[in-house]
Amino acid sequence: MNDPRPKRPAELPAPSRPAPQDKEATPPGSHWLHGLHAVAAALANPRRRARRLLLTAEAEAELAARLPRPWRVQAEIVDRQRFQTFLPEDAVHQGAALLVEPLPPVPLDKAIAGSDGPVLLLDQVTDPRNVGAILRSAAAFGAACVVMQDRNAPPETGALARAASGALEVVPVAREVNLSRAIVALQKAGFWVLGLAGEADRTLAEALPRDRRVALVLGAEDAGLRRLQRETCDELVRLPIAPGVESLNVAAAAAVALYEVVRDRPLAEADAEGPEDDTEEDAET
């Protein structure tokens, strides 16, 4: 007997979707720098060990305009989709990526001997974008080095280098096990060490010595300076800000403080150039 019910149309197979590209594994002991500024600065840095250079055809021409050949690594020309296999989805790479080994830390005594600029010490500042922005300001205002801890500080990454916009290759980074001991070492070397704290009585401008070098200690935004760092500094100082504003972002505070320290002394030409501004290029993908 025939079934009187109408026949249901056969279900159509679901449309096929392109399979996502497999992520490429990054070799141990290395990481990818991305963005034209970061890649060009790393290729120009003789201390940087580079392993691979991936570029789109457009980025190859742009990089050659910024940094004349020969480069230390042979470029591999790839399409833009290739970068999705080894970079985060939100990475603004501009068609350029360089596989590198981390820069070796610079001894603190060597860093302060190589420049007469101020020193920045970061007390548990862990956001890599903040650290990158601080490095950028350090390069712009001629800092001798940036001091971070071995622990409770971000490792070198592509995001940090991207935020630094080339300054990671310019500003020496010293990593110390004990930050308070580093402060004492700087004091013995003739530095006047000032810790930034919002509740301090005097402003940085009021406390700034003119007869010796200066080191600035900045703490994390949520916790500020820890007790031992506070006690070891020569003085705690504040930046003058409007009463309705509780505090500045640590990267902004570093920039303002560095400007105050160096504004009455001429910067060397190389220091004054600093890293390039890539604000417009950040909009590119």
**Res 23: pLDDT:** 74
Closest among 11, 63, 3 to 33, alpha carbons compared: 63
Q: Please tell me the distance from the alpha carbon of residue 212 to that of residue 149, in angstroms, as a whole number.
A: 25
**Res 283: pLDDT:** 42
Phi, psi angle pair for 62, to nearest 5°: -65, -40
Q: pLDDT tens track of the chain, all 285 residues?
A: 555 565 555 555 555 444 445 677 888 889 999 999 899 999 999 999 999 999 999 999 999 999 999 999 999 999 999 999 999 887 889 999 999 999 998 999 999 999 999 999 999 999 999 999 999 999 999 999 999 998 888 899 888 988 898 899 999 999 999 999 999 999 999 999 999 998 899 999 999 998 899 999 999 877 789 999 999 999 999 999 888 777 789 999 999 999 999 987 766 544 434 455 554 444 443
Asked if the peptide bond before residue 70 counts as cis, ω within 30 degrees of 0, the response is yes
In this chain, the answer to whether the domains covering 31-101 and 108-273 adopt an identical fold is no
**Res 11: pLDDT:** 55
* Domain range annotation of the chain: 31-101, 108-273
pTM, whole model, 2 decimals? 0.82
The CATH number, out of the four listed (3.30.1330, 3.30.70, 3.40.225, 3.10.280), of the domain defined by the range 31-101: 3.30.1330
Q: Which tens digits make up the pLDDT trace of 189-214? A: 999 999 999 889 999 999 999 889 99
Q: Which tens digits make up the pLDDT trace of 78-107? A: 999 999 999 988 788 999 999 999 999 899
Class of 108-273 per CATH? alpha beta
Orientation of helix 57-66 relative to helix 36-44, angle to 10°: 50
**Res 1: pLDDT:** 52
Q: Please tell me the distance from the alpha carbon of residue 33 to that of residue 84, in angstroms, as a whole number.
A: 14
**Res 136: pLDDT:** 95
Asked whether 91 and 29 are in contact (CB, 8 A), the reply is: no
